[in-house]
Structure 1
Amino acid sequence: MLVRRNVIPWAPAALVAVSLLTTSCAGQNDDASTAKPTASASAPHGYVEGAQEKAEQQSRLLLNDPGTGDTRVLDLITGKAQEVSRRAGTAELTTDGRFGYFHTSGGTQVLDGGAWTVDHGDHVHYYRAAIRDVGRLPGGSGTRVRSDAAVTAVTDEDGRARIYRRAELEKAKVGSPRTLPGTHMGVVVPYEEHLLSLTDNGQDAARLAVYDREGKRVASPDAACEDPRGDAVTRRGVVLGCADGALLVRESDGGFTASKIPYGDDIPDKDRATAFRYRPGSDTLTAPAGDRAVWILDVTERTWTRVRTGPVVSANTAGEGSVLIVLQTDGSLHGYDIATGKQVTRTNALLTGASAAGTDGNAGPVIEVDRSRAYLNDPRGRRVYEIDYNDNLRVARTFDLDIEPALMVETGR
C-alpha cells in the first residue's frame, strides 16, 4: 500500500480535483480505458483516440525492483501506485517521455506509461490513457532507445540500428522495423525528421552521418567524435558526448551543421561526461565529472563548468536559473548555484548511506526533474521523495511503496 506523507499540493486544488481519476484495476488499464472519446468529423484540435486531454501535465513515475521484477506506475496527480506486470532482470530503465524501456539480457520490454505531452511550440497538449504492455524489442542490456514523434530508433550493443514506427507502439504493437545500414557508434538519434548517427569507418574517430527516415544517407557534415558516449536532445540541437567535449548538431533550412564544444583542457577519461541528465526541454545538461564534481554544459552559451561538490551519487538541474541538485553519499541533497559553484542549500539525510551508494548502471538513487518538482527514489527505504527545488529543496511529498524502487524514470513530460 502506498501512503502519502507531508502532503503539499503539487498542482492548484481546482486542477487536481479535475484530474483525480478512479483507478480501474482490470489488468493494467486505468480509467482512460473506459472513457475513450468518440471520433467525429468535428473532433477538437489535439484529439487523440483513446486518450483524455487534460489541462495540466500528467506526470507518472515508472518504478522497478530488479531483484524481484516488481514494477509500479506512480501517478503523481492522484498519488496512487498501480501494479503492472513483473519485469525481472532489468539492468536499466529508460524512457522517451511516454514509453518505459526495461533493458534486460534477453531484450527490451516496452511499457506504455499512459501519459505524455505534445509540444506544438506555441502551445502544448497533455494526455493520459491506459497503461499497457507493448511487447519486446530485440537486443541485450546494452541496447539504447531514442525516439521522436514519428519513429523509435533502437541501437544494439553491436552497433546495429533498427527503426520502428511510433504509431505502432502507440497501438501497443512493436511492428516490423526498418534496418539502418552500417555500423553505428554511440546511439542513433531521431531529430528534425531525420536520423543522426556516428558511423564506424574503421578510424579512431566516428564520423557524423545524417539519414532520412527511410534509411538513406542524405548528408555527411564534416564532423568527427572520438569515443562517443552520452547524448541529449535540446532546443538548440543534439548534443553528442566525445572524448574532448561535445558535438552539437543543428538543423537549419533542411541542412545540418555540427560544431564542437570543447572542454578547453585535457580531461582524464575518468572525469569526462559520459551520460547527461537534464530536464526535458532544457538547454542545461549535467554529468558526473569524476567522483567529486559535476559538469554543467550550457548548450546556449556553449560552455562547460565544473562544479566541485564532494562525493556524488546523482545530479540534475531544471536549468534556467535553478540550482544544481546533487545527492551525496551521506544521503543528503545539496543545492549549488550554477554560476558561482557555491553551495546555497542542503537537506538532512533523506537516504541511508547504504541506500545512497546505489549499484552498477542506473539501479540506484537518481534525480528526475520536471518544470516544478524533482523526484528522488530511495530503494532501501521503499519510498520516493518529491522535492520543491524552488524552496530550498523542501520535501513536498513522500510516497511510501511496497517495492524497492531501485530503477525510476518519469513519464508524461
Structure 2
Amino acid sequence: MSTALLLAAALAAGCGGGEGDAGGDREASRRASPSPPHGYVEGAKEAAEQQSRLVLADPGTGEARVLDLISEKVHTVPAVPDATGLTTDGRFGFFHTARETQVLDTGAWMVDHGDHVHYYRARIREVGQLPDGGGARIRGDAAVTAVTPEDGDARLYRRDALEDGRIGDARPLAGPHAAPVIPYGGHLITLGSGGDAGVTVRDRDGEETAALDATCRDPRGDAVTRRGIVFGCAEGALLVREESGTFEAVEIPYPRGVPEDERATAFRLRPGSDTLTAPAGREAVWVLDVTERTWQRVATGPVLAANTAGEGAPLLALGTDGTLRGFDTATGERTGEEAALDAAPAAADPGPGVAGSPVIAVDTSRAYVSDPAGRRVHEIDYNDGLRVARTFDLDIEPGLMAETGR
C-alpha cells in the first residue's frame, strides 16, 4: 500500500470514519446519518496530504494565477490591476491595492485538531472586495478575520461568510490600534496607541478581558507562531501566549543594542513553526527562536529574501546576486548554495508580500523561490543541499507570491 493510502486510512480511523474502506464507509455514513461525519466539509474533498497552492500575481499587468503544486496545473484567476501586495491566512489570498483588497478563495486549506489534521481542496473562486486597501493588515483564524487599516480602526468579518463565498457584514473594533488586531486563543489581541503600546486581550465581541503587564515600544512587524503571537518592538520582540485560558506577555530582548536600521520589522516563517526570520540591516538576517527565546544574527551578505522551516532546517537567504544560500541557524556557517534567479533586481526585499522582489515561501519539506524576471518559480529541497526539485514556467512575472493549503 502506498504512503498516501496508508495516511488516508489513518486519517479515517483517527477521525471516527468507521470500519472498512474509508471512502465507501464515509459515503454510507453520510447517507444514513442526519449529521455529517467528523471532518466533512460541504463542497470540498478531503485529502490525505497537504494540498499546497501558490497564489501568483504580476504587479505590472495585474494578471493573477494559482499554481496547484499537486497537479501542477496553473489556473487563471481574475486580474487585480494595480496590486501592490499579496498576503494570505492559509486559505484566502488577499490582493492589496491602493483602494481596496480583493479576496480570492484558493480552495486549499487545512484544519488542525491538535492530535490530527484535515486537508481539503475545493474549487477556486472570487469572494469579493474589502473596502480597505493600501496598508490594510489582515489577520484571521477559523472564526474571524480582522482587518486593520492604516488609521488603526479595525473591522471584524465572520470567517464562515468568506468560506461561503461572500464578504459579509463588518463589525467595527474602535482603535486606534498600533499593530494589527490578531485573533488568537478564542480572543482578540490588540496593541494600544502611543509610544509604548499596551497589550489588551479582548473577547470576540471586542470587550476587554485583560490588560497584560507589558508594553511594546514602536511596534513594527508581527507573526503568529506555534508558541504564540510575536510583535516586533524597539528593544526586541514581545511574545503573547495563552495556556489554559490565561494570557501572558514575555519580552525577548535583542542580545545587544541594535541600531534602528537593523531592527527586525518584517517577519517570515513556515506556518506552524516557532522560528522566525527578518532582515537585520543590509548584510545580515535575524533568526528568532521563540521556543528558546533567543536571537541569532547570521551574516548572510546583502539579501533579497530570507526564510526558514525551523527545527533544524537551514536559513535560506536569496542574495542580491541571485544565488540562494543555506546557513546553519545555530553557527551561521554556510551549508550550500544554488543559482536561483535569471536576473537579480536592484532593490532588497521590501517586506512580506510587497511587490517588486522575489519571495521565499517554505513548508514542511520544500521551499518555493519566485523568479519574476525569469517568469518562473523554483521548488527547492532544502534538506538535500538546496537541490532544485521542480521548476514551474509561467506566462506572467510573479512579483507577488503566497502559499496556501497550510
For residues 287-339 of structure 1, give each alpha carbon's deviation from its aligned partner in whole angstroms, at most 9, with x where no partner exists: 00001100000000000000001111100000000100000011011000111
Task: Give, in whole Å, the separation in 2 of the partners of 1:264 and 1:334.
Answer: 25
Q: CA deviation at 1:112?
A: 0.3
Residue 147 of structure 1 is matched in structure 2 by 140
Task: Give, in whole Å, the separation in 2 of the partners of 1:359 and 1:240.
Answer: 20
Look up the equivalent residue of 2:215 and give its one-letter code: A
Note closer, same or farther for the CA distance 1:408–1:358 as it changes in structure 2 (3 Å cut): farther
Task: Give, in whole Å, the separation in 1 of the partners of 2:120 and 2:392.
Answer: 23
Look up the equivalent residue of 1:390 and give its one-letter code: N
Q: CA deviation at 1:262?
A: 0.2
Question: Quick check: 1:328–1:356 contact (8 Å CA) kept in 2?
Answer: no
Question: Quick check: 1:355–1:378 contact (8 Å CA) kept in 2?
Answer: no
Note closer, same or farther for the CA distance 1:158–1:55 as it changes in structure 2 (3 Å cut): same
Q: What SS does the aligned partner of 2:240 have?
A: strand
Task: Give, in whole Å, the separation in 2 of the partners of 1:249 and 1:262.
Answer: 14
Note closer, same or farther for the CA distance 1:375–1:124 as it changes in structure 2 (3 Å cut): same
For residues 165-215 of structure 1, give each alpha carbon's deviation from its aligned partner in whole angstroms, at most 9, with x where no partner exists: 000000011111111122100111100000001011xx4211111110011
Residue 344 of structure 2 is matched in structure 1 by 354
Residue 129 of structure 2 is matched in structure 1 by 136
Note closer, same or farther for the CA distance 1:13–1:162 as it changes in structure 2 (3 Å cut): closer
Please point out which of 320, 324, 337 is paired with 2:315: 324
For residues 376-403 of structure 1, give each alpha carbon's deviation from its aligned partner in whole angstroms, at most 9, with x where no partner exists: 0111111000000000000000000011
Task: Give, in whole Å, the separation in 2 of the partners of 1:358 and 1:218.
Answer: 41
Note closer, same or farther for the CA distance 1:56–1:13 as it changes in structure 2 (3 Å cut): closer
Task: Give, in whole Å, the separation in 1 of the partners of 2:361 and 2:124.
Answer: 21
Question: Quick check: 1:331–1:356 contact (8 Å CA) kept in 2?
Answer: no
The answer to whether structure 1 residue 102 and structure 2 residue 95 are counterparts is yes
The answer to whether structure 1 residue 252 and structure 2 residue 243 are counterparts is yes
Task: Give, in whole Å, the separation in 2 of the partners of 1:53 and 1:70.
Answer: 30
Q: CA deviation at 1:356?
A: 7.0
Please point out which of 73, 78, 82 is paired with 2:71: 78
Task: Give, in whole Å, the separation in 2 of the partners of 1:341 and 1:389.
Answer: 16
Question: Quick check: 1:278–1:317 contact (8 Å CA) kept in 2?
Answer: yes
Please point out which of 278, 289, 301 is paired with 1:298: 289
Question: Quick check: 2:303–2:348 contact (8 Å CA) kept in 1?
Answer: no
Look up the equivalent residue of 1:232 and give its one-letter code: A
Task: Give, in whole Å, the separation in 2 of the partners of 1:49 and 1:216.
Answer: 33
For residues 350-384 of structure 1, give each alpha carbon's deviation from its aligned partner in whole angstroms, at most 9, with x where no partner exists: 21343474675522201000011000011111100
Task: Give, in whole Å, the separation in 1 of the partners of 2:232 and 2:350.
Answer: 21
Task: Give, in whole Å, the separation in 2 of the partners of 1:13 and 1:151.
Answer: 32
The answer to whether structure 1 residue 335 and structure 2 residue 326 are counterparts is yes
RMSD: 1.9
Residue 29 of structure 1 is matched in structure 2 by none
Q: Give the TM-score of the pair, scaled to structure 1.
A: 0.89
Please point out which of 211, 217, 222 is paired with 1:226: 217
Task: Give, in whole Å, the separation in 1 of the partners of 2:4 and 2:318.
Answer: 31
For residues 201-241 of structure 1, give each alpha carbon's deviation from its aligned partner in whole angstroms, at most 9, with x where no partner exists: xx421111111001111110111101111111112111111
Note closer, same or farther for the CA distance 1:42–1:395 as it changes in structure 2 (3 Å cut): same
Q: CA deviation at 1:51?
A: 0.3
Note closer, same or farther for the CA distance 1:402–1:356 as it changes in structure 2 (3 Å cut): farther
For residues 72-109 of structure 1, give each alpha carbon's deviation from its aligned partner in whole angstroms, at most 9, with x where no partner exists: 00000001100010001111100000000001011111
Residue 22 of structure 2 is matched in structure 1 by none
Task: Give, in whole Å, the separation in 2 of the partners of 1:325 and 1:360.
Answer: 17
Q: What SS does the aligned partner of 1:69 have?
A: coil
Look up the equivalent residue of 2:93 and give its one-letter code: G
Task: Give, in whole Å, the separation in 1 of the partners of 2:60 and 2:348.
Answer: 14
Task: Give, in whole Å, the separation in 1 of the partners of 2:173 and 2:160.
Answer: 19
Residue 368 of structure 1 is matched in structure 2 by 361
Note closer, same or farther for the CA distance 1:61–1:182 as it changes in structure 2 (3 Å cut): same
Q: Which runs of 5+ in 1 are unaligned?
A: 1-10, 16-35
Please point out which of 190, 207, 216 is paired with 2:198: 207
Task: Give, in whole Å, the separation in 2 of the partners of 1:189 and 1:358.
Answer: 28
The answer to whether structure 1 residue 163 and structure 2 residue 156 are counterparts is yes
Note closer, same or farther for the CA distance 1:260–1:360 as it changes in structure 2 (3 Å cut): closer
Residue 262 of structure 1 is matched in structure 2 by 253
Question: Quick check: 2:4–2:48 contact (8 Å CA) kept in 1?
Answer: no
Please point out which of 163, 166, 180 is paired with 1:187: 180
Question: Quick check: 1:330–1:352 contact (8 Å CA) kept in 2?
Answer: no
Which structure exhibits the higher relative contact order, with contacts defined as CA atoms closer than 8 Å and separated by 6 or more residues?
1
Task: Give, in whole Å, the separation in 1 of the partners of 2:340 and 2:53.
Answer: 22
Identity of aligned residues (%): 64
For residues 125-165 of structure 1, give each alpha carbon's deviation from its aligned partner in whole angstroms, at most 9, with x where no partner exists: 00000111111112121000000010000000010100100
Q: What SS does the aligned partner of 2:269 have?
A: coil
Q: How many residues align?
A: 381
Question: Quick check: 2:287–2:296 contact (8 Å CA) kept in 1?
Answer: yes
Q: Give the TM-score of the pair, scaled to structure 2.
A: 0.90
The answer to whether structure 1 residue 285 and structure 2 residue 276 are counterparts is yes
